[in-house]
Amino acid sequence: MTLAEGGRIGFAGDLSICRILNGMWQVSGGHGRIDPARAVAAMAAYHAAGFTTWDLADHYGPAEDLVGAFGHRGEIQAFTKWVPPPGPMTRAVVEAAIDRSRRRMRTDRLDLLQFHWWDYADARYLDALKHLADLREAGKIRHLGLTNFDTERLAVIAAHGIRIVSNQVQYSLVDQRPAQRMAAFCAEHGIVLLTYGTLLGGLLSEAWLGRPEPGRADLATVSQQKYMRMIDAWGGWDLFQRLLAGLKATADRHGASIARVAIRAILDRPAVAGVIVGARLGIAEHIADNAGVFGLALDAGELDGLPRGRDLMQAIGDCGDEYR
Ligand SMILES: NC(=O)c1ccc[n+]([C@@H]2O[C@H](COP(=O)([O-])OP(=O)(O)OC[C@H]3O[C@@H](n4cnc5c(N)ncnc54)[C@H](OP(=O)(O)O)[C@@H]3O)[C@@H](O)[C@H]2O)c1
């Protein structure tokens, strides 16, 4: 099956990616038990439907091993991350981490390495990035990206002459912080955004429309628990129900689902190259519904009437500050 036009986009000059990436945090525990054989079989179904691009990380349980077992090198795009604990960022430390991901993913060269850093007061993130850029020159990494960096630090990195192609950030109809500073900076500097939390762990769907506020025990995954905290910071469950109702009305006008509208809305935002949608491999899938995103066109201003919550930039800070 091929995806409708608009399903793919050029990435960093020499890759073509699916604009909906399959997110693999969901295989790392806390989202239901993953059976490796079933997971690899499920990956084949995504691949066959045209969803060939994967988002993973060194710390997402077996994710890198699953990508290695799945194979199809050259046909898939596998974007991993390195999330190091604080410490010295020597060439040896950085290279050992990259070599480990290359071994696990059974590839000579990582398509994209997305770097995370916990503490900006520790400027050794610049050391790490310089070594990563050298490893790109050495052919072990094709492209260098970031995750959860704020706009201020993006500017610092650019000022050091380190070429970055992407930043992965939380972006949804609830968390619209990237629209404030991040997107404009990225557009100006040729950096694209890959977004997560766009479906709030599945809370942005018909399944939660009209339901009473869930307690922690009602939330099936750590992803839903994470985004429930975001809903609380944004304006709470009653306001969220009004958002769901507004999205349902829009979805009905298009014969679509709430999730489709929620993904389309973020795909249409400036600087966004792709939306990452978490995949509970072998447990649940939404391949056909999400393929429909590429046939959906929202009218200009169609979502303007949706309820708006608190300014999360004020409440939390810029992109990624919730991790610091
Ligand atoms: N860089 C970071 O710090 C960071 C942080 C979080 C996530 N991520 C990345 O982003 C990915 C996305 O994960 P997320 O936790 O943010 O979750 P998400 O993508 O907001 O939500 C994923 C869940 O949405 C549900 N879903 C998907 N399509 C649907 C549809 N068409 N209709 C109804 N429900 C649908 C599924 O629920 P069911 O499985 O229950 O059906 C799925 O498990 C992760 O896997 C990871 O790769 C990165």
Write the pLDDT tens digit of every residue in 10-53. 999 999 999 999 999 999 999 999 999 999 999 999 999 999 99
pLDDT at residue 2 tops 80: no
Total Cβ atoms within 10 A of residue 298: 17
User: DSSP per residue over 249-278, as a string?
Assistant: HHHHHHT--HHHHHHHHHHTSTTEEEEEEE
Q: Which of 82, 149, 276 to mutate to test the pocket of ligand 1 (most atoms within 8 A of CB)?
A: 276
3-state SS of 161-223 is: CCCCCEEEEECCCCCCHHHCCHHHHHHHHCCEEEEECCCHHHCCCHHHCCCCCCCHHHCCCHH
Question: Each residue of 211-234: pLDDT tens digit?
Answer: 999 999 999 999 999 999 999 999
* Residue 245 CB less than 6 A away from ligand 1: no
pLDDT score at 50: 97
Predicted local confidence at residue 4, as pLDDT: 85
Can you give the pLDDT at residue 75? 97
CB of 80 within 6 A of ligand 1: the answer is no
Mean pLDDT of the 255-265 span: 98
pLDDT at 294: 98
For range 104-124, the mean pLDDT: 98
| Ligand 1 pocket residue status of 318, Cβ below 6 Å | no
Name the residue with the closest Cα to ligand 1, atom 38: 284
The sign one gets for the Cα dihedral 244, 250, 255, 256 is: negative
CA of 158 to the centre of ligand 1 (A): 30
C-beta 286 within 6 A of ligand 1: yes
pLDDT in tens, 133-187: 999 999 999 999 999 999 999 999 999 999 999 999 999 999 999 999 999 999 9
Q: Which atom of ligand 1 lies closest to the CA of 226? A: 15
pLDDT at 1: 57
- The pLDDT value recorded for residue 5 is 84
Predicted confidence at residue 135, as pLDDT, reads 98
Q: Is the CB of 200 under 6 A from ligand 1?
A: yes
pLDDT per residue over 276-319, tens digit each?
A: 999 999 999 999 999 999 999 999 999 999 999 999 999 999 99
The pTM of the full predicted model, rounded to 2 decimals, is 0.98
Cα 278 to ligand 1 centroid, rounded to whole Å: 3
Between CA 46 and CA 151 the distance in angstroms is 33
